[in-house]
Each structure stands twice: as structure tokens, then as C-alpha cells.
Amino acid sequence: MFITLFFVEILLIDFDLLAVTYFSVMKKTWFSLYNALLGGGKMNTEKLLKKLGILADAAKYDVSCSSSGGKRQNGGAGMGNSAVSGICHSFTPDGRCISLLKILLTNHCIYDCAYCVSRRSNDIARAAFTVQEVVDLTLNFYRRNYIEGLFLSSGIFKNPDYTMERLVLIAKKLRLEHQFHGYIHLKTIPKASPELLDEAGLYADRLSINMEIPTISGLKLLAPEKNHQDITQPMRHINNSIIAYQDSRRRLRSTPKFAPAGQSTQFIIGATGETDKQVIQAADHFYRAYGLKRVYYSGYVPVLADKRLPEVSAQVPLRRENRLYQADWLMRFYGFAAQELVDNSQPFLDLDIDPKLAWALRHRHVFPIRLQTAALEMILRVPGIGLKSARKIIQARRYRRITLEILKQMGVATNRARYFIDLAETLTSTAELDNPHLRELLLADSRSKWQRGSMQQMALFDGVSTDL
């Protein structure tokens, strides 16, 4: 007997090009061991499989499932390690690759948000796991190296506290009864009591509550049963708790960790008429006001016919989503302010070139940057130079003169950077930088690179069998 799983979703982020690519492995077959594992017969196994198909598929629209920042250690007892150990893949604080069991507790929901596939009025198959079923699934998948942790969200059934209690209980049972040290990401439910949020933070590595629509007017249009404060108040409470626990741990090391990987949120992009300026400014506000670790951007997938939403035939704005991730990265790690990337005169990001290059072309008077003497923050503004490369330049220039060849060895994209840097003792000619066709030249070069290698990634899956 074979079981088909629908839950494996991998998020790969190439931060060198700052391009976000999603690969969804929608079907993975393997021999059924559940009769023995779960102690049930064929009927119970098939019932569980049906639930898994429904609730894993419903969870695929939530992209905020990185394990970035989790550092929970296994002290010797129990199973798992959210940092590094055994079957847990290595990962960096920017969450480059993660494999999680990503499911909903239930897709029943008391709300009727227009953008949500689980909305109350939508005629779809409904299901709900029991607390023990989620615990057993997590442990059994983990033991077989299919997952590194659990990403658990839920529709809201009965009321927010009723739902949140069950989410917390699942994490609590995994941690305390089964000594599970793998990564756990819990969605927090709007309007849930502060006491439940406090308990959730003691067992989860990361908490998140999705804003979904980045503007207050957009949220009111598509989710009239919700309001902005229902989401921001829990965010503020969680942020205050994180700070309080961190302060307490500085004085008393026995203080438990509270949501050590922080909290995050998600914006749906393209469901309403918000501009990139509104999205980026909202993200910037959430980072500063609520101490968020990440804001995720999900291009709206048209699945429901509603006059308030784009046509079902409309394309998912993946390129726009990609540019927003790049702009977000520039704000968090490169020192760019939100208003530098978008403003009233240019409320949308350029879809043809990345935001950093677009900024450089608009501010050519800042360049060329003399790498031999420039400050780190200015080197980071050069297109084609990333964080690691910039730090390498700072280190290397103490002992030798920086040349184009050295930059290539450091991994700098010199095809872009060469127009914006000066490697000589005196400033070189700015003829190329002042070229009115520079944007077209850079675009032509990037297109030719893409055409040479655009389909090579797919070879990764050639000849791979999913039979065990």
C-alpha cells in the first residue's frame, strides 16, 4: 500500500541574486507504516490520510515557514535539535532552506475573509485533526527524516481561545511529554487571550500572526469581520514578552526562553490595490514597532470568484513578490530606508531590475565608490556587492590594492559592479556611468545570463525516484 503526501514545500532563497524561488513537491510516495505506528487499522489510516491531504493542501498558501533563528538545543534526552543534529539540516539565520511538516489543525473557520480558501462560505472539504493526531504525525515523520520540525496554523473554530488552546497543547505535549527539541512554529490566533500567547511562547521557537492585507482599508474591504487592532495587539504583547524574557535571562540564566526565533507576519500581495510603497512602509513599521524577525510576501493566488478580488484567471504576481523580498532584504541588512526604495513619484518597484540597482541608477551622482577607502555602508550600496563580499573587501584592502580580478574571486557580480566603482588611486572617467543607455546595457547582460542558465535548476529532479 502506498500513501501520497501533499505537504513537502521547500523555500529556496538565492540571496546572492536576491531571487526567491519556490519548489513544491506535491506528491511523495512511500510504503505505509501507519497501521503499526498509530495503532489503528486500515480504516483509521485512510481517514488520517484524507485529513492530511485536505489540511496540508490548505496550509500551502502560508509562506512564512522559515526556521530562521531557532537555536533550541537537545541536552541529551528526547529527540531532535532545531539547531544542528542528526536529521536536522544545517541552516543559517536567514533561513535559506527548511523542511517542515506544514499543516492546519483545521480548515473550519468562523470568519469569511474574501482572500482565504478556508473562508466560511467556501464550499470545500473540511477536516480537523485531534491534538494527538498532530503530535503523532510530527513524531513519526520526524523519526523517518521527512521533516525537521512543525509549522502549525489553523482556521478558527468555535472561538479564538478554543483554537489557540489546542495549538498550545500540541506544542506542550511535544516538548514535555515527548522531549521533542525540533523546530516548532505556531500561528497565533487573533483575539486569543494574552495568557495563551504567553504559554505558546514557552514551547514554540517562533510565533506569527498574519496581517495578510498590508493596509487598513484593504483589510476592512476583504475581511470586514476583522480589524487592524485584533492583529497588532497580540504582536505588541508578544514583542513585550520577548523583551521581558530576554531581560530576565540576562539576570537569571534559568529563565526559560520565550519564542527564541521571534515573531513574523505575512502580507498577501495583489489582492487589493495597494502600492509597493504602502507594502514596504507597512513592513518597515512592523519591523520597528513590533520587533518582527521577518515579513513574508505572498503573491495572491486567485482561487475564489469575488468581485472584490482579481479575476480567477489573473496571474500570480511572482515577480513583484520577488522584488518586495529584495527590498525587504535591503532594509534589514543593507541600511536602506523605506523611502529610498519607493516614494510618491515611484510607488512601485521596477520589475525589470532589482531595487538596489534601480536606486543606484537614480542616484548616479553618488558613484563611483572608491573601494580602497569607502565606508562599509557605501560599499553595500554598490550593485553586485553583497554583505559577505563587502566585508571581504574591508578586510582585504588593509593588505593589498583591490582589483577587478580580486573582486571576482570574492564573488562580486563585476558585470554590474564595475560601472559603479573606482579601483584607481584617482577617480576614473565616469563616461560609462553617465551613459544614458546604461540601464539597457545591464538588462541585456542579465537577460543573456538568464537565457544561458534559466532551466538548469530543474535538472535537480531528473531521474529521482520517490519510491522507497
Instruction: Report the C-alpha gap between 203 and 172 in whole angstroms.
Output: 6
Q: What is the pLDDT along the chain (468 residues), one digit of tens a residue?
A: 333 333 333 333 333 332 333 333 333 433 344 443 445 555 577 888 889 889 988 888 877 655 444 454 545 555 444 433 222 343 434 454 667 888 999 999 999 999 999 999 999 999 999 999 999 999 998 888 888 889 999 999 999 999 999 999 999 999 999 999 999 999 999 999 999 999 999 999 999 999 999 999 999 999 999 999 999 999 999 999 999 999 999 999 899 999 999 999 999 999 998 999 999 999 999 999 999 999 999 999 888 888 999 988 888 899 999 999 999 999 999 999 999 999 999 999 999 999 999 999 999 999 999 999 999 999 999 999 999 999 999 999 999 999 999 999 999 999 999 999 998 654 555 778 888 889 998 998 776 555 554 444 433 334 443 333
Q: Are residues 412 and 331 in the same domain?
A: no
Q: Decide: 101 and 7 in contact? Cβ < 8 Å.
A: yes
**DSSP structure string for 311-368:** -TTSPP-HHHHHHHHHHHHHHHHS---HHHH--SS--S--SSS-HHHHHHHHTGGG--
467 inside domain: no
Strands 9-14 and 19-24: antiparallel
Q: Are residues 381 and 317 in the same domain?
A: no
Domain end (from 335, 352, 372): 335
Q: Are residues 322 and 386 in the same domain?
A: no
What residues contact residue 240 under an 8 Å CB cut-off, 6+ apart? none
Q: Decide: 68 and 93 in contact? Cβ < 8 Å.
A: yes
Domain that holds residue 196: 2-335
Of all residues in the chain, what percent are helix, strand and coil, respectively (each to 5)? 40, 15, 45
**pLDDT value for 45:** 78
Q: Are residues 185 and 106 in the same domain?
A: yes
Instruction: Report the C-alpha gap between 67 and 80 in whole angstroms.
Output: 14
Neighbours of 266 (CB within 10 A): 22
Q: Are residues 178 and 66 in the same domain?
A: yes
Q: Are residues 327 and 373 in the same domain?
A: no
Q: Are residues 418 and 286 in the same domain?
A: no
Instruction: Report the C-alpha gap between 34 and 44 in whole angstroms.
Output: 9
**pLDDT value for 380:** 98
Q: Are residues 179 and 280 in the same domain?
A: yes
130 inside domain: yes
Strands 28-31 and 2-5: antiparallel
Q: Are residues 148 and 290 in the same domain?
A: yes
What residues contact residue 151 under an 8 Å CB cut-off, 6+ apart? 59, 62, 65, 100, 101, 102, 103, 185
Instruction: Report the C-alpha gap between 219 and 374 in whole angstroms.
Output: 44
Q: How many domains, the chain?
A: 2
Q: Tell me how many degrees the CA angle 8-12-18 measures, rounded to the nearest 5.
A: 155
Q: Are residues 311 and 372 in the same domain?
A: no
**pLDDT value for 62:** 79
Residue 68 maps to which CATH number?
A: 3.20.20.70
Q: Are residues 282 and 318 in the same domain?
A: yes
463 inside domain: no
Strand extents, DSSP E, 396-457: 421-422
Domain end (from 286, 315, 335): 335
Q: Which of 200, 188, 344 is nearest to 266 (CA)?
A: 188
Instruction: Report the C-alpha gap between 137 and 121 in whole angstroms.
Output: 29
347 inside domain: no
Q: Tell me how many degrees the CA angle 401-402-407 measures, rounded to the nearest 5.
A: 160
281 inside domain: yes
Strand-pairing partners, residue 13, are 20
What SS3 state is found at 165? helix
**pLDDT value for 97:** 62
Neighbours of 83 (CB within 10 A): 15
**pLDDT value for 99:** 79
Q: Are residues 134 and 208 in the same domain?
A: yes
46 inside domain: yes
343 inside domain: no
**pLDDT value for 448:** 55
